[in-house]
Structure 1
Amino acid sequence: MTAPLSKASLTAGRRPVLITGGAGFIGANLADSLAAEGRDVLVYDALLRPGVEANLAWLKDRHPERISAVTADVRDAASLAASASDASAVVHLAAQVAVTTSLTDPVADFAVNLGGTLTLLEALRRRPDPPPLVFASTNKVYGDLADLTFRRVGDAYAPEDPALLAHGVGEERPLDFHTPYGCSKGGADQYVLDYARSFGVPTCVLRMSCIYGPRQMGTEDQGWVAHFLIRALEGRPITVYGDGCQVRDVLDVGDAVAAYRAALARIAQVKGRAYNLGGGPANAVSLRQVLAAIETIVGHPLALSFEDWRAGDQRYYVSDTRRVAADLGLPPPLPWRRGLDRLAEWLAGSRGLSLETRSVPA
């Protein structure tokens, strides 16, 4: 952790958008989008995830006059408060992101996800003019959906409830925190909403499904779409946990960035609200279906093995995106096959690998 940022290191007289976790996958894409339109951005990141230093270097190279950075942890209250003191808006993405890690070290998971969020909220509440904050929550706040019934249809699970199949999981779904990760993110989710209710801090929560796209450093524990592609491009085996028929609604990062920007722009209308953000039913896909598409992209069979289900894994989760699309004015999301092809090209290029360009159906 480092000392708080000196205000002199920011562009003089400007109030940046603070992005915690701003060197990460979603944060870097969001920072790039804002800076490209002339906004000043302060990236706050501990740089603990492998590869994110490259994201920060990329941002500084593209926007040397717009991007400033603080290398610090959200558990560093002094650095976090100093960085938030002049922010015109905040997007809180910094987190411990893996269910598996939360089971290994639940205390650290709590300190980062819930403690760091509360520290940030308090820093904003103490300001005479609290800026808007948009918080990255997760579909894990709804638990494992064990009360719902599913059937297997080919290589994918499908819900028995026709309304759930047609629209996905809505925001009215009761919260049900599972695993330490679910508890820490779910608790933070509720604090963010309550600070709008109790203290008037203009906040909004986006409960994300599976986001993927360029600049993602996927691992076995988090970022599964990119992880599968990386292993396939490198000719390495892939382990699937569960039977591979579990379904998620995947969303390209460009669409996620548009949602965060829209939430900031419309904060007066959406403050105090939580939205489910994902690809929706049109982008609902199983792990096996993604793996089959990856085989087509890389042009060879994949070496797969299967292990037991992991704690808290959902057989099926698809976001009902009708409310978020209407309230934030979002366009239809990028079809997942096109997004997967785009991610494959970026990953191959970033690793110096050759990838024959193939046309992918919309």
Structure 2
Amino acid sequence: MNMSAFWSGRRVLLTGHTGFKGAWLSLWLERLGAETWSLALPAATQPSLHALVARAPDQRAATLDIRDGAALAAFAREARPSVVLHLAAQALVRVSYADPAGTFATNVGGTVNLLTALRGAPELEAVVVATTDKVYANDEAGRPFVETDALGGHDPYSASKACCEIAVASLRDSLFVGGPRIATARAGNVIGGGDWSADRIVPDMVRAAARGDALELRSPDAVRPWQHVLEPLAGYLAFAEALATGRTAETALNFGPDPEAFARVRELVDAMRDGLGLAQGWRPQPGEHPREAGLLTLDSTRARDTLGWRPLLDFRSAAEWTARWYADWRAGADARALCLAQIAAYEALSREALSRQALSRDRTARP
């Protein structure tokens, strides 16, 4: 995968730029030279990675709720995007139990509003809608999910994202026939510096370390496809570029780590404990908890075959990059500089991987 000149000067509509993944992606698009028009609700956390990495206020950024179809349509008309990257969502499982109606309204209704607003957009080439690995009907049999597996979802968050997938497919096949390519991207559990969300494992570790407390884990033996945040974001960028240039007609792709990165929650805590300064370790959280999947893994073969995308950071490296970000930030380092340095390092890894692949092909082709 190559971060090409495709993005330089390209008009991009990014939703959800104040969230964790959105803030990283907004910064990466800036680095690539894109003309980004962003919309989102105000950042939900304090500190906020968006606030820490943003430049001077950008007139092309709007505070906007995607449930407001009229306001969304007006912003989309002004943006005139070539590419849309849709990350805005209610992304927390436990919040979805407390507010199922709001979760469905945002994740399904908001996506429908966005695609409706983009209908007839004259310059639009591609739309990538970020969903989740939790869209699959999970029997917890241990087999990594592939893109053709049945959709489902026990909890409201997972079900809302599965419904989002169905809505995207319906609108693509009915309202956008012969028009821009529209697809969904399903990523696993991401970790990385600058996440302060509630009820996520790394932010919970950071907060426990700051208090000097032991971390309480709801499901220490749950298996997740852990990956650094830059891995799926690189996939989204590669997918959008391939769609826009006609190099793929895929409508959904998984972006998950290699199988060795499938690890239990407690194994992630153990891998990051020293780097985050979690002196008290962890203990099981008492009480009853809403149901969450115990086993969840992805098969990303199709993304490798169609895009040339592949994970560049193994489990230990992803944990190390994440812990180092927080440690350096606590020591006074600038968050924007830390993010840009890790993006640059990731791009260097991508170039090295491409060079190795080219060398391998050359050796194979020799008589």
Asked if the contact 2:273/2:281 (under 8 Å) is kept, the reply is yes
Equivalent position of 1:115 in the other structure: 109
Residues 130, 224 of structure 1: CA spacing in aligned structure 2 closer, same or farther, 3 A cutoff?
same
Q: Does 1:289 align with 2:289?
A: no
Tell me what 1:241 maps to. 218
**Contact 1:231-1:238 within 8 A present in 2 as well:** yes
1:132 aligns with 2:126: yes
**Counterpart of 1:17 in 2: which secondary structure?**
strand
Deviation at 1:122, TM superposition (A): 0.3
Distance 1:24 1:272 in 2: 27
| Number of the residue aligned with 1:27 | 22
RMSD: 2.4
CA distance in 1, matches of 2:105, 2:135: 18
Give the deviation of 1:67 after TM superposition.
Answer: 7.6
What amino acid does structure 2 have at the position aligned with 1:134? Answer: V
* Equivalent residue, structure 2, for 1:40: 35
Alignment of 1:1-362 (within 5 A): 16-51=11-46, 53-56=48-51, 58-61=53-56, 68-85=60-77, 86-146=80-140, 148=141, 159=142, 164=143, 168-198=144-174, 199-200=176-177, 201-220=180-199, 223-242=200-219, 244-267=220-243, 268-271=246-249, 273-297=251-275, 298=277, 300-307=279-286, 310-352=289-331
Residue 316 to residue 309, structure 1, CA distance change in 2 (3 Å): farther
Q: Matched residues in 2 for 1:313 and 1:52: separation?
A: 27
Q: Percent identity?
A: 28
How far off its partner does 1:304 sit?
2.0
Aligned to 1:360: none
CA distance in 1, matches of 2:331, 2:27: 23
Distance 2:22 2:59 in 1: 12
> Residue 239 of structure 1 aligns to a residue in which SS?
strand
Whether the 8 Å contact between 1:137 and 1:207 is mirrored in structure 2 is yes
User: Relative to total residues, which structure has the larger strand share, 1 or 2?
Assistant: 1
- Whichever residue aligns with residue 262 of structure 2, its letter is A
Do the aligned residues in 1 keep the contact of 2:217 with 2:282 (CA within 8 Å)? no
1:261-309 deviation line (CA, Å, top 9, x unaligned)? 1011101344451112221312111111112122333373414232457
Q: Deviations over 1:153-206 (max 9, x none)?
A: xxxxxx4xxxx3xxx221222112222212221111122223332223411111
How many pairs align? Answer: 317
Contact 2:209 2:278 in 1 (8 A): no
Q: What TM-score does the superposition give when structure 2 sets the normalisation length?
A: 0.79
Q: Counterparts of 1:292 and 1:314 in 2: how far apart (Å)?
A: 21
CA distance in 1, matches of 2:309, 2:46: 30
1:18 aligned counterpart, secondary structure: strand
Partners of 1:288 and 1:277 in 2: CA distance:
23
Partner Cα separation in structure 1 for residue 294 and residue 100 of structure 2: 24
Whole-angstrom CA distance in 2 between matches of 1:74 and 1:353: 35
Structure with the bigger percentage of helix: 2
Partner Cα separation in structure 2 for residue 274 and residue 323 of structure 1:
9
- Output the TM-score relative to the length of structure 1: 0.80
Checking the alignment, whether the CA contact within 8 Å between 1:45 and 1:73 is kept in structure 2 is yes
- For the structure 1 residues 271 and 74, does the alpha-carbon distance in structure 2 shift closer, same or farther, using more than 3 Å as the test? farther
Contact 1:211 1:278 in 2 (8 A): no
